[in-house]
Structure 1
Amino acid sequence: MSLPPGYSITGDTGNVCKLKKAVVRVKAVSSGWFGRITTAMKKFSYQQANTDHTLFIKHRAGKVTLLIIYVDDMIVIGDDTAKIEELQKCLAFEFEIKDLGSLKYFLGVKVTRSKHGLFLSQRKYVMDLLANTRMLDCKLADTIIVENHKLGVYVDQVLTNKERYQRLVRIFIYLSLTRLDIAYAVSVAIQFMHSPSDDHMAAVMRILSYLKSAPGRDRHSTSGYFTFVGGNLVTWCSKKQNVVSRSFAEFEYRWIAQGVCEIQWLRWLLAEIGFRPDAATKL
């Protein structure tokens, strides 16, 4: 490796560089790996979905097999048992993989099966977060954010640890996948990622206190949209608008437009999988 600018060593002095960060180019590595798995899946006669490039599909005799991947974690699902077993063998031959059996955890999300279907929860993710931030013994908060808060960027604000603030907010963004009740508070915290103050950090710590009061709670937010397929909730969104609406009607139309985009994407995705909608979708 090359020495950093400003350093020069002549002769064999035995000096080495002490690394404070990993020097692997993560984006390049993940891109190369995804290219390899894509080539392999196409060799196995799977088609890459146009609506989601991490999804691979195979149809046979009216049945379907699906594989979706995130970096090196993947889920295989479908109603073609023979093709699922065949895919597992092909992957094991091509790569060193570990079969974890029925889906229980995926990227911090717990999957529980019952007669009513699948239940997704990030309760363990919340408890691990509270333990890592030493907030397991914190005082509980009944509300997630102070009513009529005055959070903003002010000249005389006292700055806080920017790296810690950004890390916590990014965790909350991922947590809001199943915890829609924190979506608004997270959208407020995101606005101050560039210059967080002690007041902003206090608001973030309040989110942690709220999560401690109910680590498994899952309530619907009041604005945004959610979509159902066959009576099952499959996608949802709740966030603060990035522009100011002139009226409540304009606000509604903006979210209607967002909902239409989501519906259109879902209809394309279902058609690729093999379940082409045969009627209009209610909005």
Structure 2
Amino acid sequence: MDPPPGLRRQGETLVRRLNKSLYGLKQASRTWFTTFSDAIQNAGYCQSKADYSLFTKVQGTSITVILIYVDDILITGNNIQEMEQLKAFLLKRFRIKDLGDLKYFLGIEFARSEKGIFMSQRKYALDILQDSGLLGARPNFFPMEQNLALTSTDGALLNDPTKYRRLVGRLIYLTVTRSDIVYHVRTLSQFMHEPRKPHWDATMRILKYIKGTPGQGLLFSANNNLDLKAFCDSDWGRCRTTRRSVTGYCVFLGNSLISWKSKKQDNVSRSSAEAEYRAMANTCLEITWLRYILQDLRVPQKTPASLFCDNQAALYIAANPVFHERTKHIGIDCHIVREKLQAGIVRPTYVPTLFQLADIFTKALGKDQFVKLRDKLGVRNLHSPT
């Protein structure tokens, strides 16, 4: 970095120290977060060990929560006076702007009513459709053909792969509130290096599905219990190239969906039971992390979280710690399911495949089953289709 004009004298080689980090430097974001976290902790707030961007302050029955993302800050709590004191402190310590009640945050729209809080990315979805020229396209009722298997070798290469990469990247951020397209976007993101014609066609189909449901989002009900429950599933050998299985899970706080994932497993499983057991292990890790977050928010979990799985063999492996010929090759890290079961953190439970909600995160489903599971996930459409 060069000093400002007129500051350097001819032949001078002195080094100057910055009193304030400059915007754009590699160290700027870290310096800002360190400055903010030190200031807010000096004001009596505790930094969460599960999420360093979360700060809480508890005084008796009063709780105030701060969540920071770079320079965007959310404040909530049950004590209006304490929140006003916090805002006055921040206004005095930093140059910030109070935007009032939460309506728009990082491209996510929030709407409040007596029923609860609705979260969606309608404007962001419409911007994607407009940039793609599909605002007038005929919508599809589900995002991908049933059991569609895409590979890295079928079809002709795209002339301009940058357009595909940019579009899929935007769809990835859309999955922050659109759990119904997580599996499909994850599948397409595997082909960023060499996208082909079938991959582009599948992307266009997802956009046409979004065209019919731009206002889809999640409703966090005001009348809800605060018990954790989770569904986990795996599709054995789904990837045609590597033969690795796909893990899918979703976690609910009461009836509100708060976490979900679709991911290809790191290892090749020798059986469907092994693939399901690995999915259970990943879900246990997510439940453990969520319990830490809820503990910081003073929402303790007094009962084990129900973990629903549709593979009885995997449930037997989790419940029976006996060494077996068919399970001795499974990684030790997967046996965290047994550890969490014995610690009373999770309670594995069987659920029929027809009612396995995580099935939507492991494969492309037909219209009827897709719509059924999507509705059970709590995905709602607050706006009328455009």
Above 0.5 in TM-score?
A: yes
1:172/1:186 contact within 8 Å kept: yes
| Cα shift readout 1:135-183 (whole Å, capped 9, x = no counterpart) | 2123433332234545322298323423322222121111112212211
Name the aligned partner's letter for residue 96 of structure 1.
R
Higher relative CO (CA 8 A, sep ≥ 6), structure 1 or 2?
2
Change in Cα spacing, 1:146 to 1:232, as seen in structure 2 (3 Å) is closer
Match of 2:70 in 1: 71
Counterparts of 2:154 and 2:144 in 1: how far apart (Å)?
Answer: 23
Q: Which has the higher strand share?
A: 2
Secondary structure, counterpart of 1:74 in structure 2: strand
1:121/1:216 contact within 8 Å kept: yes
Counterparts of 1:63 and 1:95 in 2: how far apart (Å)?
Answer: 25
Q: CA deviation at 1:186?
A: 0.7
Q: CA deviation at 1:117?
A: 1.4
Among candidates 288, 291, 298, match of residue 274 of structure 1: 298
- Counterparts of 1:143-154 in structure 2, within 5 Å, are 143-154=142-153
1:187/1:240 contact within 8 Å kept: no
Match of 1:33 in 2: 32
Which deviates more, 270-279 or 151-160?
151-160
- Please tell me whether residue 174 in structure 1 is matched to residue 153 in structure 2: no
Match of 1:21 in 2: none
- Please tell me whether residue 98 in structure 1 is matched to residue 122 in structure 2: no
Counterparts of 1:193 and 1:237 in 2: how far apart (Å)?
Answer: 20
Structure 1 unaligned runs (5+)? 3-23
Match of 1:255 in 2: 279
Name the aligned partner's letter for residue 63 of structure 2.
V
How much is the aligned-residue C-alpha RMSD, in angstroms?
A: 2.5
1:180/1:238 contact within 8 Å kept: no
Match of 2:380 in 1: none
Counterparts of 1:182 and 1:199 in 2: how far apart (Å)?
Answer: 18
Q: CA deviation at 1:228?
A: 2.6
Match of 1:209 in 2: 208
2:122/2:215 contact within 8 Å kept: yes
- Please tell me whether residue 48 in structure 1 is matched to residue 72 in structure 2: no
- Counterparts of 1:159-198 in structure 2, within 5 Å, are 159-198=158-197
Change in Cα spacing, 1:229 to 1:252, as seen in structure 2 (3 Å) is same
Structure 2 unaligned runs (5+)? 3-22, 219-230, 234-247, 308-386
Secondary structure, counterpart of 1:252 in structure 2: helix
Name the aligned partner's letter for residue 39 of structure 2.
A
Match of 1:16 in 2: none
Change in Cα spacing, 1:65 to 1:218, as seen in structure 2 (3 Å) is closer
- Please tell me whether residue 227 in structure 1 is matched to residue 226 in structure 2: no
Counterparts of 1:236 and 1:76 in 2: how far apart (Å)?
Answer: 25
Q: CA deviation at 1:239?
A: 3.7
Counterparts of 1:111 and 1:105 in 2: how far apart (Å)?
Answer: 6
1:58/1:65 contact within 8 Å kept: yes
Which deviates more, 176-185 or 194-203?
194-203
Change in Cα spacing, 1:279 to 1:86, as seen in structure 2 (3 Å) is same
Counterparts of 1:186 and 1:63 in 2: how far apart (Å)?
Answer: 41
Name the aligned partner's letter for residue 74 of structure 1.
I
Change in Cα spacing, 1:26 to 1:191, as seen in structure 2 (3 Å) is farther
Match of 1:13 in 2: none
Counterparts of 1:106 and 1:213 in 2: how far apart (Å)?
Answer: 24
Q: CA deviation at 1:124?
A: 1.8
- Counterparts of 1:105-184 in structure 2, within 5 Å, are 105-154=104-153, 157-184=156-183
Counterparts of 2:120 and 2:199 in 1: how far apart (Å)?
Answer: 27
Q: CA deviation at 1:240?
A: 4.1
Among candidates 238, 241, 245, match of residue 269 of structure 2: 245
Name the aligned partner's letter for residue 95 of structure 1.
F
Match of 2:226 in 1: none
Secondary structure, counterpart of 1:76 in structure 2: strand
Counting aligned pairs with the same residue, the percent is 40
Q: CA deviation at 1:227?
A: 2.1
Which deviates more, 156-165 or 102-111?
156-165
Name the aligned partner's letter for residue 297 of structure 2.
I
Counterparts of 1:46 and 1:71 in 2: how far apart (Å)?
Answer: 18
Match of 2:14 in 1: none
2:232/2:283 contact within 8 Å kept: no
Which deviates more, 87-96 or 142-151?
142-151
2:251/2:260 contact within 8 Å kept: yes
Secondary structure, counterpart of 1:186 in structure 2: helix
2:232/2:279 contact within 8 Å kept: no
| Cα shift readout 1:171-227 (whole Å, capped 9, x = no counterpart) | 1111112212211211111111122223322322222122112212359x9952222
TM-score (structure 2 length as normaliser): 0.62
Secondary structure, counterpart of 1:279 in structure 2: coil
